[in-house]
């Protein structure tokens, strides 16, 4: 800062606060609308200004207040949008001491009593000015009762009273209030306009700055003039000679959105090395891994909005262009990236080394992103597979055969239930009848298979015994009152077999003996279940769609198969997971 230090230093944001609409940048549409309204004599009683913080809402409110009350240099002027800045009302409003222009911050005056003062005051004529003007900042913070009180005045406003509301969160303002206000949306200042503005101020303050340095500041400010000027202040204070590009990047300390977007794009293009290189840059800037991933999530969200057809008007132009480019990968891919990053974000918080965890997330994203989506795979398949599938399912085979049995009135419904009876072993089909017997004569359970015993144990709450049996008993023989088994593995409980015999005797009402054999045992129940799952997986892998997925993805594997009965098999629900 090369200011001669005669007067106290004023921060740039305050010093260059616009006093007229001409000095205000990036809000041409707002100025034009207001100018037209004044020219046509159609001024609203209440205005509401909305936009992100630091964008000029309060400045606009004050300029508007001046414009409404300006008397012109000759004291004879009317309302205009180029307030003279020299008449008494202009001067007093500039200095914040006009008796008829009252500013209130709703953030600290939320209650109905605070609003009551305004409402009472509004009943009186202005003391000296044309209009009594109430500027209420952060109006969304008002309580509901305060809004209600205010509403009465807004419904029948005195002629010489104007309200100017400002808010960062327009959605929190009740629609009853909004409907009585003329609304102005203050846009983020575009990067090129902001850069030019910064250059003008730097010149007049004799601050030397590299052009790119100002561009970075303009980008980092995300359209807020106040933030941009604060950053320029900071950079100037830290760099006596000239503000270099690197100095600004170091000062920002954060990963700028550009870099985030570049990393995102590299990942979505499958360029792992490029993504990791860029991440190294981000890391060198001191990026916090979880904040970094959260930023990526934010940008995926923005790109998805664009891909979904929503505009991107609220973004700086350069970013908007990159987001639009990213959006071209389509909603399906963006959604997949979102999921992956979201999981990654959780992992990073738990990871002993967040930086390496973030790298892993990027590698995974770059690996998966270019892969076709399930919808694309199905689309790329030849037309035949759906037919091939249905002819393979037992349901279809049976239902096509069913009409031959003329006597059967509803062949397709009966057919599936016949499958287990004809195709599976006796042991399994016996189970329902055994259960039915048990219901009619509760104390006597018949054990004809290990499965029977497990069911009975589970029903009796003997979960541990049941689990041991499933895992460790290899059946050798099971005849009336005598079970011979081989024990597989190390079973800790010594009384296992005698406990089992006692349980079976109690349940069946007849004495059971359980012997341990040295050899000759069949597979355990657990092994049988595992075999069944493997068979299902094998069958699933032969399904044309699943086979195509497995072929397209080297690392894909079937991790689970939902076991259905035959009737449901057309809705095959195999989960294919990328390792």
Beta carbon nearer to Zn ion, 94 or 572: 94
- Residue 126 as a binder of Zn ion (CB under 5 A): the answer is no
Q: How far is CA 26 from the centre of its chain?
A: 31
- Residue 90 as a binder of Zn ion (CB under 5 A): the answer is yes
CA distance linking residue 261 with residue 322, whole number of Å? 7
- Residue 79 as a binder of Zn ion (CB under 5 A): the answer is no
Instruction: Show contacts with Zn ion in window 513-532 (CB under 5 A).
Output: none
Tell me how crowded residue 409 is: count the other CB atoms within 10 A of its CB. 7
Beta carbon nearer to Zn ion, 69 or 315: 69
Counting every residue written for the chain, the total comes to: 579
Do the bridges between strand 182-185 and strand 575-578 make them parallel or antiparallel, or are there none, so unpaired? unpaired
CB of 164 to Zn ion, least distance (A): 17
**What does residue 463 show for φ and ψ, rounded to 5 degrees?**
-65, -35
Q: Which of 494, 478, 429, 272 is nearest to 365 (CA)?
A: 272
CB of 302 to Zn ion, least distance (A): 43
Q: Which of 253, 483, 248, 275 is nearest to 361 (CA)?
A: 275
Q: Tokens 């041991």 — which residue?
A: 468
Q: Could you tell me the CA-to-CA distances from 562 to 111, 556, 571 in Å, in that order? A: 59, 17, 10
Q: Name every residue whose Cβ is closer than 8 Å to that of residue 163 and which is 6 or more positions away in sequence.
A: 45, 46, 47, 133, 134, 136, 154, 157, 181
Window of 77-85, 136-144, 521-529, 553-561 that interacts with Zn ion by CB under 5 A? 77-85
Window of 64-72, 144-152, 394-402, 441-449 that interacts with Zn ion by CB under 5 A? 64-72
Summarize the chain as % helix, strand, coil (round to 5). Answer: 55, 10, 35
Window of 18-26, 85-93, 161-169, 554-562 that interacts with Zn ion by CB under 5 A? 85-93
Window of 87-95, 300-308, 369-377, 431-439 that interacts with Zn ion by CB under 5 A? 87-95
CB of 159 to Zn ion, least distance (A): 21
Q: Could you tell me the CA-to-CA distances from 538 to 23, 393, 554, 556, 574 in Å, in that order? A: 73, 14, 17, 14, 11
Beta carbon nearer to Zn ion, 31 or 252: 31
Beta carbon nearer to Zn ion, 70 or 248: 70
CB of 19 to Zn ion, least distance (A): 11
Beta carbon nearer to Zn ion, 97 or 492: 97
CA distance linking residue 167 with residue 277, whole number of Å? 41
Beta carbon nearer to Zn ion, 20 or 160: 20
Residue pair 556/574 in contact by the 8 Å Cβ criterion: no
CB of 90 to Zn ion, least distance (A): 3
CB of 74 to Zn ion, least distance (A): 10
Q: Considering only residues 24, 31, 84, 267, which one is a binding residue for Zn ion as defined by CB under 5 A?
A: 84
Burial of 576 (0-12, 13-18, 19+ CB in 10 A): middle
Q: Binding marks (x or -) toward Zn ion, 461..480, rule CB under 5 A?
A: --------------------
Beta carbon nearer to Zn ion, 129 or 228: 129
- Residue 64 as a binder of Zn ion (CB under 5 A): the answer is no
Window of 65-73, 96-104, 139-147, 542-550 that interacts with Zn ion by CB under 5 A? 65-73
**What does residue 454 show for φ and ψ, rounded to 5 degrees?**
-65, -45
Beta carbon nearer to Zn ion, 90 or 266: 90
Window of 79-87, 157-165, 218-226, 474-482 that interacts with Zn ion by CB under 5 A? 79-87
Q: Which of 244, 209, 210, 215 is nearest to 228 (CA)?
A: 215
Q: Binding marks (x or -) toward Zn ion, 374..413, rule CB under 5 A?
A: ----------------------------------------
- Residue 83 as a binder of Zn ion (CB under 5 A): the answer is yes
Burial of 422 (0-12, 13-18, 19+ CB in 10 A): exposed
Q: Binding marks (x or -) toward Zn ion, 20..59, rule CB under 5 A?
A: ----------------------------------------
DSSP alpha helix (H) spans, 191-330: 191-204, 211-220, 225-238, 245-252, 257-268, 272-284, 289-307, 317-327
Beta carbon nearer to Zn ion, 160 or 400: 160
Beta carbon nearer to Zn ion, 30 or 87: 87
- Residue 87 as a binder of Zn ion (CB under 5 A): the answer is yes
Q: Considering only residues 70, 189, 209, 398, which one is a binding residue for Zn ion as defined by CB under 5 A?
A: 70
Number of residues counted as binding Zn ion (CB under 5 A): 5
**Site residues, Zn ion (CB under 5 A):** 70, 83-84, 87, 90
């Amino acid at each position: 800062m090369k200011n001669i230090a005669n007067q106290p230093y004023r921060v740039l944001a305050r010093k260059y606060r616009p006093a007229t609409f001409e000095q205000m940048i990036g809000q041409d549409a707002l100025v034009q609308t207001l100018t037209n309204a004044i020219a046509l004599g159609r001024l609203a009683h209440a205005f509401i200004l909305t936009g992100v913080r630091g964008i000029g809402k309060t400045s606009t409110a004050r300029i508007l207040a001046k414009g409404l009350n300006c008397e012109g240099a000759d004291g004879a002027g009317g309302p205009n949008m180029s307030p003279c800045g020299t008449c008494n009302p202009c001067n007093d409003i500039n200095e914040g001491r006009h008796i008829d222009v009252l500013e209130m911050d709703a953030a600290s005056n939320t209650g109905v009593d605070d609003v009551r003062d305004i409402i009472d005051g509004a009943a009186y004529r202005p003391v000296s000015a044309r209009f009594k003007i109430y500027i209420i900042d952060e109006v969304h913070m008002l309580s509901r009762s305060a809004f209600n009180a205010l509403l009465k005045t807004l419904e029948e406003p005195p002629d010489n009273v104007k309200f100017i509301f400002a808010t960062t969160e327009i959605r929190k303002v009740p629609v009853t209030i909004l409907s009585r206000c003329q609304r102005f949306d203050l846009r983020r200042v575009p990067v090129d306009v902001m850069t030019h503005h910064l250059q003008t101020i730097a010149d007049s303050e004799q601050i030397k700055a590299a052009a790119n340095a100002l561009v970075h500041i303009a980008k980092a400010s995300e359209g807020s003039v106040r933030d941009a000027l604060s950053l320029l202040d900071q950079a100037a204070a830290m760099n006596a000679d000239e503000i270099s590009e690197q100095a600004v990047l170091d000062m920002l300390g954060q990963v700028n959105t550009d870099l985030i977007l570049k990393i995102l794009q590299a990942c979505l293009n499958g360029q792992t090395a490029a993504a990791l290189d860029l991440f190294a840059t981000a890391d060198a800037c001191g990026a916090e891994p979880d904040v970094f991933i959260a930023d990526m999530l934010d940008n995926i969200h923005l790109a998805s909005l664009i891909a979904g057809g929503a505009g991107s008007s609220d973004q700086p132009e350069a970013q908007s262009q990159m987001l639009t480019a990213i959006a071209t990968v389509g909603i399906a891919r963006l959604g997949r990236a979102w999921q992956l990053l979201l999981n990654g974000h959780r992992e990073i918080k738990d990871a002993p080394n967040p930086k390496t965890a973030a790298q892993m997330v990027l590698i995974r994203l770059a690996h998966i992103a270019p892969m076709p989506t399930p919808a694309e795979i199905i689309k790329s398949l030849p037309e035949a597979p759906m037919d091939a599938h249905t002819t393979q399912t037992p349901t279809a085979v049976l239902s096509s055969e069913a009409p031959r049995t003329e006597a059967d009135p509803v062949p397709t419904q009966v057919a599936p239930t016949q499958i287990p009876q004809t195709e599976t072993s006796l042991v399994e089909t016996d189970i329902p009848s055994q259960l039915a017997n048990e219901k009619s004569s509760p104390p006597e359970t018949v054990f004809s298979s290990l499965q029977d015993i497990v069911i009975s144990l589970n029903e009796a709450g003997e979960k541990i015994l049941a689990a041991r049996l499933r895992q460790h008993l290899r059946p050798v023989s099971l005849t009336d009152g005598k079970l011979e088994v081989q024990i597989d593995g190390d079973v800790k409980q010594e009384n296992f077999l005698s406990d089992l015999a006692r349980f079976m005797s109690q349940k069946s009402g007849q004495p059971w003996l359980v012997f341990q054999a040295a050899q000759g045992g069949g597979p355990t129940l657990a092994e049988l279940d595992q075999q069944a799952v493997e068979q299902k997986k094998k069958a699933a892998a032969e399904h044309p769609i699943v086979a195509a997925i497995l072929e397209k993805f080297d690392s894909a594997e079937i991790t689970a198969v939902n076991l259905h009965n035959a009737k449901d098999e057309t809705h095959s629900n195999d989960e294919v997971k990328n390792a």
